[in-house]
Amino acid sequence: MKVAVSISHFVLLFLSVFQWVSAEVVYFSIVLTWEEKEVAGFTRDVILVNDSFPGPELRLVQGDDVIFDVKNECPFNVTVHFHGIDQKGTPWSDGVPGLSQRPIVSGTKFRYQWTADQYGSYFYHAHHRGQLEDGLYGAIYIEPANSVERPFSLLTTEEAELQAMIVAEKNTSPLILSDWRLLTSEQIWDAEEASGVDAYCANALLINGLGSVSCLPRAELDAISAIPNFQLILGNTTLTDIACFPPNNVPAEGDYPHDYSKLLPTMFEGCTASQSAHEVLTVNANDRYVSWDLISPAGILALTFSIDQHDMYVYAIDGRYIQPYLVNAINIPNANRFSVMVPLNQEPGDYTIRLITGDEQQQILNTTATMHYEGHSEFTGPSEPWIDLLGQNTTIDTIFYNESLVVPFPVVSPSATVDETYILNIQHYNASYLWTLGNSSFNLELEESQPLLFNQHAIPNDLIIRTKNGSWVDLIIQVDTPFQAAHPIHKHSNKHFAIGSGNGTFTWSSVEEAMQDIPESFNLINPPIKDTTAAPTSLTGPVWMVLRYQVVIPGAFLLHCHIQVHQSGGMALAILDGVDAWPRIPDAYLYDSGF
């Protein structure tokens, strides 16, 4: 799907005494409206970006300066965050209410300005209350500068094939993979507050905004419920008709008061099948390769992506190259991006693209799209899947993506020692739907407070970490509550190294100490470099992971779980990076909306 985008390019030339510096300024302006729209076969209110869902793609070249104007015509406050964009020198454009700006009031405009100093696949999305789940998201692609070395020569030495990959990358397009609820984010939040329950079920999966609601027959739901992994959690209950764990009798909800009578239909049960439009992605075998940027703005579930009978070379993660890695199915945690190079080497025809949730999560959902070879079709299908509805391999040859095998390109090693270590515990906080990442819960109402960037003391101190510019920091994320889906932890601003993970409780006071006992649990040589890293799933007990980063960009940045209801429930912490070197806030942001 190609989205029509109107971007005006202006070349501004600045004359300096020594040289000409040219910087391209890209203007991108959007209008947000709150309108009824049919998604997955059901009509509900949706945040539309210039009348579309998902929003239009923002396409840039590395080095571009961006002016991103938002006009809020929704009847509520909003903000827009640029996921993975580091905001070097522009921390007031990060889009986080209570940290970097005041919310954009209904009927007003806000101007975000930042420089695309990195390359690759990113996305913009709502960052106010639960509005990510109301449809405000769109792709960002930043074409790498010519000076950035591409990793494709690791795949082939044949010049024509290499050229085909370079051209495919240049023409890369986003595939937005998401989950969808039939209720709005405020309906869900109100029902969570009234019932005390954490709302962890979706209603449909979408590919580029398209998909349908499907309802599995009761016999199949019961058969899945009887599988040992499911039994462990379900006990004497079974999956609901939306193929989700029921809210009662599930250990993940913890031992807190609940009023199930306050739940709304479709939150945990109430399945009505629909037949809605289905995404068709047309490819041309003469191109030899197609490149797609898989982007997950999903609010709830991790999503597994696979193309029948086709291989995929993952060549970048979160907008950073890796040594290309051949797989057939990728599990994508919320907010991660995987750029894949797909060889178009099968009989021309139609092949099914599958998006599923898999058996390591609380719900079984799927949707499909079609990869259609342009022109004469020899193959009439149906195509052979690599994976089934539960995410199990259907062939002996299926290769699943395994993050342990990722090698960044080029390799960059983190510092072997750190200056600061924080151990942050993930737990419920006095209710199933309220959470902590640290010592207390980031109350949703704090989004309306004065931004920390303008006043460091605007919110309680136990929700704040302060770091010194230039220092190396370890964030040790400890998940204490059992039976948790893998919490995808996102650090705003610059990327981190995912240096280690393990089962149990992190009983050491630092990584250095832990490495004396369990060196095999860490990688300080060539760890993955990302902006969002999922903790391991905690099926039977506690788990932990460590994110290491250097503070290089001063500003007030959020660390949070990218499962939207967890973030709304308080699983977030403000990191005041490089407080000793904060920039002066321009008056246009301190007192106004950036204009």
Ligand X SMILES: *[C@@H]1O[C@H](CO)[C@@H](O)[C@H](O)[C@H]1NC(C)=O
What residues line the site for ligand X (CB under 6 A)? 5-6, 28-31, 50, 56, 77, 102-103, 105, 212, 214, 235-236, 249, 366-368, 389, 393-396, 402, 404-405, 429-430, 438-439, 448, 462, 465, 469-470, 501-503, 536, 552, 554, 578, 581
195 DSSP assignment: H
Q: Which is nearer to Cu ion, 490 or 495 (CB)?
A: 490
Least distance in angstroms from the C-beta of 240 to ligand X? 15
Residue labelled with tokens 């910087």? 23
* Binds 13: which of Cu ion, ligand X, none (CB < 5-8 Å by kind): none
| Subset of residues 480 to 509 that bind Cu ion, contact rule: CB under 5 A | 490
Which residue, among 563, 478, 527, has the nearest Cα to 318 in the 3D structure? 527
* Binds 83: which of Cu ion, ligand X, none (CB < 5-8 Å by kind): Cu ion
* Binds 208: which of ligand X, Cu ion, none (CB < 5-8 Å by kind): none
Q: Which is nearer to ligand X, 77 or 346 (CB)?
A: 77
Q: Which is nearer to Cu ion, 48 or 126 (CB)?
A: 126
DSSP code per residue over 532-560: EEEPPPBSSS-EEEEEEEE--S-EEEEEE
Residue 15 structure tokens:
């004359």
Is residue 479 within 8 A of residue 438, CB to CB? The reply is: no
Q: How far apart are the C-alpha atoms of 315 and 275, rounded to whole Å?
A: 34
Is residue 194 within 8 A of residue 261, CB to CB? The reply is: no
Least distance in angstroms from the C-beta of 167 to ligand X? 25
Residue 174 structure tokens:
């986003």
Count of chain residues binding Cu ion (CB under 5 A): 2
Q: Which is nearer to Cu ion, 85 or 164 (CB)?
A: 85
* Binds 395: which of Cu ion, ligand X, none (CB < 5-8 Å by kind): ligand X
Residue 492 structure tokens:
């705003």
Q: Which is nearer to ligand X, 5 or 412 (CB)?
A: 5
Q: How far apart are the C-alpha atoms of 356 and 390, rounded to whole Å?
A: 8
Cβ burial of 271 (10 Å; 0-12, 13-18, 19+) is middle
φ, ψ of residue 228 in degrees (nearest 5):
-50, -45
* Binds 469: which of Cu ion, ligand X, none (CB < 5-8 Å by kind): ligand X
CA end-to-end span of the chain: 34
Least distance in angstroms from the C-beta of 581 to ligand X? 4
Provide the greatest CA pair distance for the chain. Answer: 77
Least distance in angstroms from the C-beta of 214 to ligand X? 4
φ, ψ of residue 233 in degrees (nearest 5):
-95, -40
Measured at the CA of 567, the angle between CA 563 and CA 569, to 5 degrees, comes to 115
Q: Which is nearer to Cu ion, 310 or 560 (CB)?
A: 560
* Binds 236: which of Cu ion, ligand X, none (CB < 5-8 Å by kind): ligand X
Least distance in angstroms from the C-beta of 150 to ligand X? 26
* Binds 404: which of Cu ion, ligand X, none (CB < 5-8 Å by kind): ligand X
Least distance in angstroms from the C-beta of 190 to ligand X? 14
HSE-up (13 A, CA, CB side) for residue 408: 21
* Binds 28: which of ligand X, Cu ion, none (CB < 5-8 Å by kind): ligand X
Residue 401 structure tokens:
């993506």
Q: How far apart are the C-alpha atoms of 100 and 91, rounded to whole Å?
A: 7
Least distance in angstroms from the C-beta of 289 to ligand X? 26
Q: Which is nearer to ligand X, 231 or 395 (CB)?
A: 395
DSSP code per residue over 289-304: EEEEEEE---SS--EE
420 DSSP assignment: E
Amino acid at 167: V
Least distance in angstroms from the C-beta of 557 to Cu ion? 10
User: Please, what sign has the CA dihedral across residues 220, 226, 231, 236?
Assistant: positive
Residue nearest to Cu ion (CB): 83
Amino acid at 353: I
| Subset of residues 30 to 89 that bind Cu ion, contact rule: CB under 5 A | 83
Q: Which is nearer to ligand X, 168 or 484 (CB)?
A: 484
Least distance in angstroms from the C-beta of 23 to ligand X? 19
Amino acid at 416: A
Least distance in angstroms from the C-beta of 558 to Cu ion? 8
Q: Which is nearer to ligand X, 77 or 240 (CB)?
A: 77
Q: Which is nearer to ligand X, 103 or 333 (CB)?
A: 103
Least distance in angstroms from the C-beta of 340 to Cu ion? 22
Contact between 320 and Cu ion per CB under 5 A: no
SS3 assignment, position 97: strand
Is residue 363 within 8 A of residue 343, CB to CB? The reply is: no
DSSP strand pairing (496-503 vs 303-307): unpaired
Q: Which is nearer to Cu ion, 83 or 495 (CB)?
A: 83
Q: Which is nearer to ligand X, 81 or 102 (CB)?
A: 102
Least distance in angstroms from the C-beta of 503 to ligand X? 4
* Binds 547: which of Cu ion, ligand X, none (CB < 5-8 Å by kind): none
* Binds 174: which of ligand X, Cu ion, none (CB < 5-8 Å by kind): none
* Binds 77: which of ligand X, Cu ion, none (CB < 5-8 Å by kind): ligand X
Is residue 54 within 8 A of residue 78, CB to CB? The reply is: no
Cβ burial of 170 (10 Å; 0-12, 13-18, 19+) is exposed
* Binds 450: which of Cu ion, ligand X, none (CB < 5-8 Å by kind): none
Q: Which is nearer to ligand X, 102 or 288 (CB)?
A: 102
Is residue 485 within 8 A of residue 362, CB to CB? The reply is: yes
Strand partners of residue 422: 475
* Binds 212: which of ligand X, Cu ion, none (CB < 5-8 Å by kind): ligand X
Which residue, among 333, 389, 394, has the nearest Cα to 364 in the 3D structure? 389
Least distance in angstroms from the C-beta of 335 to Cu ion? 6
* Binds 214: which of Cu ion, ligand X, none (CB < 5-8 Å by kind): ligand X
Q: Which is nearer to Cu ion, 337 or 428 (CB)?
A: 337
Site map 574..593 versus Cu ion, x via CB under 5 A: --------------------
Cβ burial of 459 (10 Å; 0-12, 13-18, 19+) is buried
Least distance in angstroms from the C-beta of 372 to ligand X? 16
Which residue, among 482, 567, 564, has the nearest Cα to 202 in the 3D structure? 564
Chain residues in the site for Cu ion (CB under 5 A): 83, 490
